[in-house]
């Protein structure tokens, strides 16, 4: 088939809401934006283990410790699924990790904030994983098959993450006045960074239009942000906690909650590497990668030996 016919076939698959599979022809730009988004998604999952991982040894009970360990381990698995999905596009995981460690690829802004108290673990589960679910459920219908399929399992596990965070905050909110205050303080600090997690406003989003035309993205940043606010406000009422935005109010005409404006300068600063914990998070990841080099070398040596034995036996 010539180039024009391949392009027509690709467009027909997208128009038919079918899946593009690794074996299918795809425009270089489609491949490039998938590598960009999937690798940054994977990096986010892995770096995202740090804020909560900080509290595994400090969890207030064996039950809470077990729940948190399971959640953090899930995030590692999400990262691995997503690196595998990226590899189907012809990139090497090692190359992506080198780009992250060199500051040449991004991870989500949300993971550049400190976890100051135990209640932050609840706020991250409830708000950050709640935002992640809002963003990731539409990705289960992404036009690229491996990414969409990875999202199906990720979303099932995210639901557990969000529920355990909500339940943790529910317990604190109804605990002693000090526990309620700790929960409210965490929500005050994590609310706006979670709302900003959906990306810049639609007018500043450089990729949304094309990503939606290719059905990688199903909704714009602002549409998903609004969904998140609409879902979360009633939950905050159930928790007995207030969200730090005095402009939140139900708008009957719109059928949505009105809410205040994000601090877009803050989001731009954090994305550019100047957030509260950017340097710490990346330095920790680089150090862990370097300290783990011997494991990768041992696994590669074993694989070579195994391959040599297998070929000698053939």
In the complex, the residues that contact ligand 3HC under the rule CB under 6 A are 36-37, 40-41, 44-45, 48, 75, 78, 106, 108-109, 128-129, 132, 135, 158, 197-200, 205-208, 211, 217, 221, 271
CB of 20 to ligand 3HC, least distance (A): 17
CB of 287 to ligand 3HC, least distance (A): 22
What single DSSP character describes residue 256? E
42 within 8 A of 75, measured Cβ to Cβ: no
Specify the residue, 283 or 298, whose C-beta has the smaller distance to ligand 3HC: 283
Specify the residue, 54 or 179, whose C-beta has the smaller distance to ligand 3HC: 54
Specify the residue, 75 or 245, whose C-beta has the smaller distance to ligand 3HC: 75
What tokens appear for 294 in the block? 């011997």
Q: How many H-runs (helices) and E-runs (strands) does the chain carry?
A: 14, 2
CB of 152 to ligand 3HC, least distance (A): 14
Q: Which long-range contacts (CB under 8 A, 24 or more apart) does 215-222 make?
A: 215/14, 215/17, 215/141, 215/142, 215/143, 216/30, 216/33, 216/34, 216/37, 216/142, 216/143, 216/144, 216/147, 217/138, 217/142, 218/138, 218/139, 218/141, 218/142, 219/138, 222/198
217 within 8 A of 140, measured Cβ to Cβ: no
Specify the residue, 127 or 180, whose C-beta has the smaller distance to ligand 3HC: 127
What lies within 8 Å, CB to CB, of 251 at 6+ separation is 257, 258
CB of 221 to ligand 3HC, least distance (A): 5
142 within 8 A of 151, measured Cβ to Cβ: yes
CB of 162 to ligand 3HC, least distance (A): 9
Specify the residue, 121 or 128, whose C-beta has the smaller distance to ligand 3HC: 128
Specify the residue, 87 or 158, whose C-beta has the smaller distance to ligand 3HC: 158
CB of 199 to ligand 3HC, least distance (A): 3
- C-alpha–C-alpha distance, residues 43 and 97, integer Å: 8
Specify the residue, 125 or 180, whose C-beta has the smaller distance to ligand 3HC: 125
Nearest to 190 by CA among 247, 282, 119, 272: 119
Q: How many CA atoms lie within 13 A of 104 on its CB side?
A: 6
197 within 8 A of 100, measured Cβ to Cβ: no
CB of 201 to ligand 3HC, least distance (A): 9
């Amino acid at each position: 088939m010539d180039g024009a016919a391949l392009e027509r076939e690709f467009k027909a698959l997208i128009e038919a809401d079918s899946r593009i599979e690794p074996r299918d022809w795809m425009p270089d730009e489609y491949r490039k934006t998938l590598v960009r988004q999937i690798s940054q998604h994977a990096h986010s999952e892995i770096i995202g283990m740090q804020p909560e991982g900080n509290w595994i040894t400090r969890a207030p009970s064996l039950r809470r410790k077990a729940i948190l360990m399971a959640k953090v381990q899930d995030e590692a698995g999400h990262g691995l699924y997503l690196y595998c999905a990226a590899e189907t596009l012809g990139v090497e995981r090692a190359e992506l990790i080198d780009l992250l460690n060199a500051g040449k690829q991004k991870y989500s802004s949300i993971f550049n904030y400190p976890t100051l108290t135990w209640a932050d673990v609840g706020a991250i589960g409830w708000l950050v994983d709640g935002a992640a679910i809002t963003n990731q459920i539409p990705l289960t219908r992404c036009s690229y098959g491996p990414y969409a399929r990875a999202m199906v399992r990720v979303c099932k596990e995210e639901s557990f993450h969000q529920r355990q965070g909500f339940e943790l905050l529910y317990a604190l909110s109804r605990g002693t006045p000090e526990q309620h205050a700790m929960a409210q303080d965490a929500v005050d600090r994590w609310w706006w960074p979670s709302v900003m997690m959906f990306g810049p406003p639609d007018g500043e989003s450089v990729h949304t239009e094309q990503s939606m035309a290719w059905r990688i993205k199903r909704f714009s940043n602002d549409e998903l942000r609004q969904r998140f606010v609409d879902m979360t406000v009633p939950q905050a009422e159930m928790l007995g906690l207030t969200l730090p935005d005095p402009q939140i109010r139900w708008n009957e005409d719109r059928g949505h909650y009105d809410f205040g404006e994000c601090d877009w300068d803050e989001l731009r600063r954090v994305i550019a590497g100047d957030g509260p914990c950017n340097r710490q998070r990346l330095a920790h990841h680089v150090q862990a990668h370097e300290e783990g080099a011997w494991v990768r070398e041992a696994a590669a040596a074993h694989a070579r030996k195994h391959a040599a034995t297998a070929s000698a036996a053939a």
